[in-house]
Chain A
């Protein structure tokens, strides 16, 4: 027992790619147990979870991406990071709070990669709108255009505000105080209003 413990401690500290090793072992175990669905309970849960939250993920990614190709990369990266950390999720916060936090953090770090010209029109044209209402589409496009004029950190605030999140939830997601949220939401709302008014 003692030596087992020692070997586990050594294994944990010495093998940097132990996660890959464990995944490989799980896959091997899965193969020999011959389960037909090809999914573990965790995989199924994760797929359902992504399905439930895809609109949130898409909306946030679209607010940070500059073109459809970048949008695809952002959504993919968010999915990878959610997959990597979903087992670390501790029920200290709500699942939705966790999704917002991971998605926003990934977008905030990825959007520094490239500073290309923003192509809002093609971003929205490749979307999945089931409406033919042109006015509605234009309204959505102009809202996104206005959001993209904001600084990246301000975009995070406005996205959460538009999603009807309480100040407490916004504070929890962004890791700032509730008072700070109040001040920043008001400032960003005014900025957004001015941008839309000016039609820029």
Chain B
């Protein structure tokens, strides 16, 4: 039985001598692995970060002051190196090595990246906006701002209008953050889940 199987297998090898692999065509195409897709998106983000954030830093520096400009530029630098780190981690992944070990390592980096994205979305678009808008609303409604010449309300709201504005301040950032959360999940989350399944199966 064993010899038969090996014999059949060898016949198949002989039968494959006419098989063709078009090397030029194959290496001219893009890899379709999950990692290649994630790397492609990261590269887009990397170049968007390189183009948009420094321009914003200059704009903030001129229009809003040194502090805003420097803060934005620092954020740009942090992300610049973070993207390089992630892209290089994916580049270093090699199918001829210990795939399980190196894929687990890359998966952990990407999972942290996704987590950081979600934290930034909810903190940046909900907590910060709630804080800023709430404070602004409070200042405008009560007029209790030290810089103002008169301690008078800046806008006159009826109670109903005030509730609507407060409601919008609460709901709109949550909806926006939820939309971004969904988008990030669509772009990265699903691919990282696939990566997790591959890592689990390799185990």
Q: Which residues of A contact B (CB under 8 A)?
A: 13-14, 16-17, 19, 46-47, 50-51, 54-55, 57-59, 73, 75-77, 79-81, 83, 85, 88-89, 98, 101-102, 105-106, 108-110, 112-113, 127-131, 136, 139-140, 143, 152, 162-164, 175, 189, 192-193
Contact = CB atoms under 8 A, between A and B. Distances in A.
B31 A80 contact: yes
A75 B13 contact: no
Contacts of B11: 131, 136, 139-140
Interface stretch (B17-25, B129-137, B142-150): B17-25
19 contacts: A19-B91, A50-B23, A55-B13, A55-B19, A59-B9, A59-B16, A76-B29, A101-B95, A108-B201, A109-B95, A110-B33, A112-B194, A127-B16, A139-B8, A139-B11, A140-B11, A140-B15, A143-B9, A162-B5
State the majority secondary structure of interface residues on B: helix
B88 interface: yes
A13 B83 CA distance: 12
B58 to A, nearest CB: 21
B161 interface: no
A133 B29 CA distance: 36
B8 to A, nearest CB: 5
A101 B94 CA distance: 11
Interface string B23-59: 1011101011110000000010010000000000000
Given A85-B95, A112-B197, A128-B20, 20 more contacts: A16-B46, A50-B23, A55-B13, A57-B21, A59-B9, A59-B16, A75-B26, A77-B31, A79-B26, A88-B94, A88-B96, A108-B202, A109-B95, A112-B198, A113-B34, A127-B15, A129-B15, A140-B15, A143-B8, A162-B5
Contacts of B17: 55, 128, 130
Given A50-B21, A79-B23, A85-B94, A17 B15 contact: no
A50 B25 CA distance: 13
Contact of A81 (B9, B31, B87): B31
A13 B95 CA distance: 23
- Most chain A beta-carbon neighbours within 10 Å: one of B9, B32, B98: B9
B23 A46 contact: yes
A164 B6 contact: yes
Interface string B85-108: 001100100111011000100000
B2 interface: yes
Contacts, number: 124
Nearest to A16: B87
Contacts of B12: 59, 140, 143
Nearest to B18: A128
Contacts of A73: 32
Given A110-B33, A127-B16, A85 B96 contact: yes
Interface residues of B, number: 43
Contacts of A109: 33-34, 95, 99, 103, 198, 202
A128 B19 contact: yes
Contacts of B19: 54-55, 58, 127-128
Contacts of B95: 81, 85, 101-102, 105-106, 109
B84 interface: yes
A14 B194 CA distance: 29
Given A16-B46, A130-B17, A175 B98 contact: yes
A54 B21 contact: yes
A51 B96 CA distance: 19
Contacts of B103: 109
B1 interface: yes
A26 B28 CA distance: 16
Nearest to A130: B18
